[in-house]
Structure 1
Amino acid sequence: MRPSRTRGGIAVLGTLLSLTLAGCGGGGFADSGAAGGGTGSIRMLVNVTPNLTQDFWDRLVAPFEKANPGVDVVIEAPSGKGVSDTLQQQLAAGDPPDVVETLMADPTLAPQLVDLTGEDWVKNTPLAQEASLGGKIYNVGVGEQAQSLVFYNKTAFTKAGIPTPPSTLDEMTQDLGKLKTAGYLPLQTSGDFATGLQLLQLTDPALAAATPAFYQDVRAGKTTVGKAMLPYLKLYQSWLDQGYVDKNALGLKYPDAETAFLQGKAGMFVMGSWFTASEAKAKKDFEVGVFAAPVSSGQKSPGAQGATMAAPYLIMKSTQHRDLATKLVHWLVTDQQAVVAQLKQDGNFRTGVQREFTPLEQQVQKILDAAPAKVAQGEGYGDSTLPRGFNSAWNTEVQGLYIGHSPETVADAVDRWVSAHAK
């Protein structure tokens, strides 16, 4: 997940879009659209990043255009701050695209989308059921981004006398101490979005085991985010106090944190599977390994893997070429060459799909295959969601630990935010 996808969960539509859609009034675009014919232009709004360039997208859809004479797939890069912002503008102008990549459906957006539940081919696409909303499938994706991963410096582990990666958070705490004694920064982090994201990623397996219906329990008032996360906030605070995490890390940008870890300055780095792409390009004098985020003592290991849908697609109900748009999306998420190209380009994974892997990517695929379940994290997706904007609010509050806020203060602030933004 790249920064424009917020890395802790794929970018979702925010308050401005809610207002825009509400302004459509009643049916709005939901009642328009048409099946269309066998030819025409399909507008596809996509995420453009250093990996996912305009040229990549053009080359990706070229075989589809060749196989379907008379069809022109028009790739649209974001004109605003990102896909979400651009779609808001297009909806307000009454000119939305046919297909949207990157965004996940939520209750506000769902009425504007084509329901894909009845399409047989969607059932085996990654996380389609997990991301369903009210039993309906609106999103289909190419693969998965593993979230709950801990990358580690194998040389540092050897020098610190750590024979095997930890499987529990208690063991991880002990290993952080050994790394510090060996002269390494035990755990690499940074400011930007990464501070709070890493804590979510790290605790996904333990949280899923302790509170299996976490999102539903929060909405039902059976627990609160702050109460559920307080033990992990206290643990993180102890790491700060013991110097296992740099107390000045908030001044560090995310790319610099990646660079610092890849220069061999730290023992561990919690991050999503997209980090494998950066690792593959880096020149370094040590080997990087990866293990599944630990669970709490007494829980089964490995735990559930925090995962998000990679390259999710939506079809706007307003399209005048619904059949062509559906055919395109079907091809994008099921054609072997198209799938492999997208997985490889952005460091994503899909069980059962073979592609050329780096050694580190092979390890990540094994972790995904071994995970007993895949769970949402942060704001979540489908029916497992917290109020939109949670990731950013959580990140801000977690960063408060660095300036003296107590774990209890942070937990209380998080609960007040969730309560104020709950619908």
Structure 2
Amino acid sequence: MTATLLLGLTACGGGGFSDGGDGDSGKGGDGGDRTVRVLVNITPNLTKTFWNDLVAPFEKAHPGVDVKIEAPTGKGVADTLQQQLAAGDAPDVVETLLPDKTLAPQMLDLTDEPWTKDTPLVEEASLDGRVYAVGVGEQAQSLVFYNKDAFRKAGIDELPETTDEFTAAMGKLKKAGYLPLQTAGDFTTGLQLLQLTDPSLAQRHPDWYQKVQAGDLTVGETMRPYLKQYKTWIDRGYIDKNALGLKYADGETSFLSGKSAMYVMGSWFTATEAAADDKDFEVGAFPAPVDKGQKAPGPQGATLAAPYMILKKSGSKDTARELVEWLVTDKKAVTAQLKQDGNFRSGVDRDLSPLERDVQKILDDAPARVAQGEGYGDDTLPKGFNTAWNTEVQGLYTGRSPDDVAKAVDRWVEAHR
């Protein structure tokens, strides 16, 4: 859903051919066909069948080219790529990941490719001014999905814009018999708090990542007010105190069954909602609230959807580059990817559901896009931050205080600089 975290990557691997050259001069083992290996993320939406169907038109238009879709063999794309690099058997193209200081030197520099210029978030995801990853669309992150029936029954006529209004709405929803805010265990707990705070934090500290990197601010110091607010929601029963026992998918199911009134998640949730045929209420979306006195809507937390990078050592470099260009610029290919995983791209004309129209409007109205959590491009925190943050936030459910959590987060960041 978001860019998978990367550990140290040191080895370089070949791509589709063994010669390691810069072009497509190598020959495959099947009569000279050109093979491009693409390591992709596999999810309930992004099945291997979907990926194979997606690239079929490219193969048809390029006789002799075989695009070989590869699913992760490790815990995920990042883990699998590490294993392949270490074994000298890396793919030609990797999907899902974004470059960092260690990974970027092993990827093809696409900065001077003219077709990258109009791709989504290309500048935000660049590293030291260089483009290594290009994507299909955007994943809006700071979204609150809500049960319209629940809001009507609770007498909430105006969607909350500030955190105070958001808290007041949760009180009304609880009185109306709903669990106000749905969460879950797994990665959901910490992710949701990051998603909720993006618009406020970006206004309070526009250069937050740079100041944290320089030591002028600490994560715990700036997040302490939000941790305290979140703890009050737990204490008041606005969030299920036993939520950590739920899996990510269980949280989605609970919200879509009508048991809870709001669910904070990224825009990919629109695809899940569309598949919920037995749902008997309408779901809407509004931007995450901002602090009192701030402009609403605030900057939208956003990440690059379906990012692609090309391995510098690919033996099928030219074909791989042509494939990636097609994947992120061809109208039919882009539309198929956006639709399949609930992603968005301004200027792309596709049929949107009412809920998707809500999300697209939120993106269009947002004054800016901002990174969140571990971040991307030049706006980053130490690798592994998202996992560490999630663990600490979950401590609020087991008796730890917001001050304890904030201090633990700062200790972790300082130890991993």
Normalised by the length of structure 1, the TM-score is: 0.94
Aligned mate of 1:257, from 251, 265, 277: 251
| Aligned counterparts, 1:319-398, within 5 A | 319-398=314-393
Q: Say yes or no: does 1:146 pair with 2:146.
A: no
Partners of 2:244 and 2:42 lie apart in 1 by: 27
Question: Are residues 1:13 and 2:6 paired?
Answer: yes
**Counterpart code for 1:394:** W
Supply the distance in 1 between the matched residues of 2:25 and 2:363 (Cα, whole angstroms): 41
* Contact 2:136 2:305 survives alignment (8 Å): yes
Q: Deviations over 1:55-75 (max 9, x none)?
A: 111111111111111211111
The question of whether the paired residues in 1 share the 8 Å contact of 2:40 and 2:72 is answered with: yes
Tell me by how many angstroms 1:165 deviates: 0.9
Q: Which residue of 1 aligns with 2:16?
A: none
- 1:7-406 equivalences under 5 Å are 9-14=2-7, 18=8, 20-21=9-10, 33-37=21-25, 40-282=34-276, 283-406=278-401
Residue 4 of structure 1 is matched in structure 2 by none
Q: Which residue of 2 aligns with 1:5?
A: none
Q: 1:407 aligned to 2:395?
A: no
Question: How far apart, CA to CA, are the structure 1 residues paired with 2:43 and 2:186?
Answer: 18
Q: Which runs of 4+ in 1 moved over 6 A?
A: none
Asked if the contact 2:93/2:320 (under 8 Å) is kept, the reply is yes
Q: Distance in 2 between matches of 1:164 and 1:391?
A: 33
- Does structure 2 retain, via aligned residues, the 8 Å contact 1:116–1:137? yes
Q: What is the CA deviation profile of residues 319-351 of structure 1, one whole-angstrom value per residue up to 9, with x for unaligned ones?
A: 112111111100000000000011111111100
TM-aligned CA deviation for residue 169 of structure 1: 0.5
- Cα deviations by residue, 1:200-241 (Å, 9 ceiling, x for unpaired): 001100000001111111001110000111110011011111
Mean Cα deviation higher: 67-76 or 340-349: 67-76
Amino-acid identity (%): 69
What is the aligned residue count? 405
Task: Tell me what 1:421 maps to.
Answer: 416
How far apart in 2 are the matches of 1:142 and 1:243?
Answer: 40
Q: Which residue of 2 aligns with 1:28?
A: none
Report if aligned partners of 1:32, 1:317 keep a CA contact under 8 Å in 2. no
Cα shift readout 1:57-104 (whole Å, capped 9, x = no counterpart): 111111111111121111111111211111111111111111000111
- How big is the shift at 1:12? 2.6
Query: What CA RMSD, in Å, does the superposition of the two structures yield over aligned residues?
Result: 1.5
Amino acid at match of 1:139: A
Work out the CA distance in 2 between the residues paired with 1:37 and 1:261. Answer: 53
Specify every segment of 5 or more residues in structure 1 that has no aligned partner in the other structure, as ranges. 2-8, 26-30
Deviation at 1:36, TM superposition (A): 2.3
Contact 2:12 2:313 in 1 (8 A): no
* Cα offset, 1:35, TM superposition: 2.1
Q: Secondary structure of 1:140's match?
A: coil
Shift of 1:294: 0.7
CA distance in structure 2 between the partners assigned to 1:392 and 1:79 by the alignment: 21
Mind listing any 5+ residue stretches in structure 2 that lack a counterpart? 14-18, 27-32
Following TM superposition, by how much is the alpha carbon of 1:24 offset from its aligned partner in structure 2, in angstroms?
A: 6.0
1:256 to partner: Cα distance? 1.0
Distance 2:213 2:200 in 1: 20
Task: Specify the SS of the correspondent of 1:141.
Answer: coil
- How far apart in 1 are the matches of 2:99 and 2:334? 21
- Amino acid of the residue matched to residue 370 of structure 1? D
CA positional deviation for 1:128: 0.8
Q: Distance in 2 between matches of 1:54 and 1:289?
A: 31
TM-aligned CA deviation for residue 261 of structure 1: 0.7
Q: How many Å separate the matches in 1 of 2:254 and 2:72?
A: 31
**Structure 2 residue matching 1:158: 3-state secondary structure:** helix
* 1:37 Cα offset (Å): 4.7
Q: Could you tell me which amino acid in structure 1 is paired with residue 398 of structure 2?
A: I
